[in-house]
Amino acid sequence: MQRLVQGCAVFFIAMGAFAFGALETLELALLESRFSFLDRPASGEVVAVQIDARSVQELGQWPLPRNTYAFAVRSLVAAGANEIAIDVDMSARTNENETAALARALEDAGGHVILPAFTQLAQPGVYDGNLIDAEPTPELTPHAWLGSVNVVPDKDGRLRQLMHGMWNADGAFRYSMFALLAGKAKPKPEPFYVDYGIDVRTIPRISFVDVMDGRFDVNVVNGKRVIIGGTAVELGDHFAVPRYGVMSGPMVQAMGFETLHQDREIHRTGPIGVVLLVVLVLAGALCMPQQRGWIGHAAIVAVAVAGLLAGAGLLQHFAAISLDVLPALFALTLVFGLQLVLMSDLQRRNAARQKRIASHQRILLDRVVSDSFDGIAILDAHGRIEQANKQTFDLCNAPHTEGEANLDHLVENLTLDRDKPAGGWHNVPLGEPVLARVVRHGAEHHLEMRLNRSEVPIDTPSPNGTMYRHVLGLTVRDVTDSIRAVTAQREAREQAERANRAKTDFIANMSHELRTPLNSVIGFAELMEQQSLGPLGSPDYQEYAAHISGSGRHLLSIVNDIMDVTRAEMGDVQLADDAICLTEIAESAIHAARGDADACAHVIRTEFDFDVGEVLADGPRIQRAIGNLLRNAACYSPPDAPITVRTRVDHDGRPIVEVEDRGDGIPADMLSSILMPFQQVKASAHRTSDGVGLGLTVVAAFMKLHEGTIEIDSSVGEGTTVCLVFPASRRVAPHAASAAE
């Protein structure tokens, strides 16, 4: 809204200056300046016969006798001139014979001669409205056209405009001489600006005395219009004009002819054009973003001024229209000046606001630094303390001094973790933490100290020519609690590791101790079950022995799983990397699993890809891993649900063994923990045997030893697929396998 008000104010100021003519002189100067840049030649259709200084001198008199004009008319008509205009006053009565000779020449010319007529004040200098017409003598007018030669200079005396005609003293309209000569006269006194861009020097000229003597080229005037008139300075018929300074009356008529003949009547855009241009310029100026600096605004204004001036020049050159650009340029200048004033005021206010903000920030920073729990100090490049908060001295257990102490005095009561650098403690590497201990209030505290470097602007250049100086920033922080926490955490971790090792050792030892008596129990139970040493005496004893043997084998399996997991955690496992056939190992695992009561109740299908070939692996452990997967599938599947075992190679060349069941599946919230020890899917209603949840843990441990992975894809109610994925590097190339055979 503010910018709109500014634009309206500038608009009315610019239009007021235009309305009162304050810009008219400059506008006319711009109009005239374009004539020099927009130069064009004359058409050659008009020829000036000049009564020049040489003609006056050779003819020896002025005014010239009228019979000389009669001779000139006859000579020019004989040379083929189309029209002849004589710009010489013929109103005075002279020798009747001479006048008669001219009348006969005009009559013989057949009405193709134009004689001058002009209207003037009845009394020179008296502007009372009384006018008189100066016309050729009555003997001449019947045989010629009368053309007005009146011109009206502007207020500054320059002749810029001509008119198609003027009203004479009797109220009759009379065409101008140049308009009659051009054949483009309009029946009203319509003014227009003469195009002085037409080079007057290109208008053909002949001296009057050469016409009288017949010393001219008839081809110059053949088929052309001719203007006869006095051009000598002493004849006094001259006008002040743009570009050329002074021009004779006949040449003014010639320029009027050329302007009409070439359709170069120049008209100015007038008030409506001025209003539209000013509005357009103001709209563009007010839409400029205010964020630009004065240089940006000046550049935009310069481009706009250049564009307006160039546009006005092109419009005048091609369309003979003079664009009044001064009001628009004036409005643009006012807007630019107003923007400069506003920007200056805005910058002043911004500077004051920034000063207030800086002062507030400085106070705020001082307060925050003063109230900080950390010590903060500023030192010069030599380590002298320029400013420090109270905590700096309290943390270091040093006396409160500023400007008199340096960093070496500040740390003299500290026990630091390194030796003092050469030159002083202020030469410690920047940003590197320095740890120190200090006894304060009877207790030991740990400190962490760091140095950083900053560049501070200065008002006068330093000796080396820079406008800044280096200062050091020191931060001192009490890290006692952090060090204690780290120490406690380290001790807790070490204690946990010791406990875990003790647990692992205990389990390993207990498992080892359990295996020996279990083997004895299983062996003797089998002897009793098979009655190797004779009948037991009762069938129930044989059944009991079978239960003892089965329970012992189950317990031994659990102990073996625990042993395997424990040894894997301890890293006490040695793999036998042999080239084994995955398909054969899978078949062996299936055959072994058929002796299991759970597996016997299921149909085990196979989908083997025999192109898998051989894999570098520990055969017994892989067979056991596949067997664990088969037992899990049988345990968590209904009896009539089939189990599928596959071998294949994926697109990355990795050998894979898959065991798929159609059981209840594993809940999604257990997939992330199912491989951990002692984890079981307890929701299944089809479990037919007990376990401690180590089957998948053992499988994962074996696959980790083989640098492989175990992948589980399961959906509740749809089943589970477990994949043993070996790295592609463990697959034996076919040609290598053949060579080994």
CATH at residue 396: 3.30.450
Q: What is the pLDDT of residue 591?
A: 85
User: How many whole angstroms separate alpha carbon 276 and alpha carbon 273?
Assistant: 5
Q: Note whether residue 501 is domain-resident.
A: yes
State whether 507 and 556 are in the same domain.
yes
Is the link from the previous residue into 142 a cis peptide, with omega within 30 of 0?
A: no
411 SS3 class = coil
Q: Which two tokens stand for residue 203?
A: 């208008």
End residue of a domain, out of 512, 541, 562? 562
Q: Which two tokens stand for residue 322?
A: 């003079």
Q: Percent of the chain, pLDDT > 90?
A: 24
* Region class of 730: left (phi > 0), else alpha (psi between -120 and 50), else beta: alpha
For the chain, the domain total comes to 5
State whether 7 and 94 are in the same domain.
no
State whether 580 and 555 are in the same domain.
no
Q: Note whether residue 568 is domain-resident.
A: no
State whether 184 and 299 are in the same domain.
no
> What is the tens place of the pLDDT at every residue in 1-53?
667 777 788 888 888 888 888 888 898 999 899 998 888 999 999 999 999 99
Q: Which two tokens stand for residue 469?
A: 């100086």
Q: Which amino acid is at 354?
A: Q
b/e per residue 571-606 (b: at least 16 CB within 10 A): eeeeeeeebbbbbebbbbbbeebeebebbeebebee
CATH at residue 680: 3.30.565.10
Q: Note whether residue 182 is domain-resident.
A: yes
pLDDT of 727 over the 70 cut: yes
Q: Note whether residue 351 is domain-resident.
A: no
State whether 184 and 327 are in the same domain.
no
Contact 222, 270 (CB under 8 A): no
pLDDT of 383 over the 50 cut: yes
> What is the tens place of the pLDDT at every residue in 529-549?
677 777 776 777 767 776 776
User: How many whole angstroms separate alpha carbon 362 and alpha carbon 352?
Assistant: 15
State whether 64 and 179 are in the same domain.
yes
State whether 720 and 633 are in the same domain.
yes
> What is the tens place of the pLDDT at every residue in 638-690?
877 888 999 999 988 899 999 998 888 888 777 666 766 555 555 444 444 45
State whether 216 and 148 are in the same domain.
yes
User: How many whole angstroms separate alpha carbon 289 and alpha carbon 297?
Assistant: 9
pLDDT band at 739, cuts 50/70/90?
A: very low
Q: What is the pLDDT of residue 445?
A: 86
- Helices 270-286, 2-19: crossing angle, 10 deg rounding: 150
| 145-154, 420-429, 470-479 — most confident range | 145-154
End residue of a domain, out of 511, 534, 562? 562
Q: Note whether residue 60 is domain-resident.
A: yes
Q: Note whether residue 364 is domain-resident.
A: no
State whether 189 and 223 are in the same domain.
yes
Q: Which residue has the tokens 């005048």?
A: 316
What mean pLDDT is predicted for residues 149-165?
92
State whether 257 and 276 are in the same domain.
no
pLDDT band at 182, cuts 50/70/90?
A: very high
Q: Note whether residue 399 is domain-resident.
A: yes
End residue of a domain, out of 326, 343, 360? 343
State whether 535 and 635 are in the same domain.
no
pLDDT of 233 over the 90 cut: no
Range(s) of the domain holding residue 619:
574-740
Q: What is the pLDDT of residue 733?
A: 65
The answer to which of 27-41, 292-306, 386-400, 514-528 has the lowest mean pLDDT is 514-528
Q: What is the pLDDT of residue 229?
A: 92
Sign of the CA dihedral running 439, 440, 444, 446: negative
State whether 633 and 678 are in the same domain.
yes
pLDDT of 65 over the 80 cut: yes
Q: In angstroms, how far is CA 123 from the centroid of its own chain? A: 77
Looking at per-residue pLDDT, the higher value among 498 and 318 belongs to 318
Q: Note whether residue 405 is domain-resident.
A: yes
Contact 207, 54 (CB under 8 A): yes
> What is the tens place of the pLDDT at every residue in 392-403?
788 888 887 655
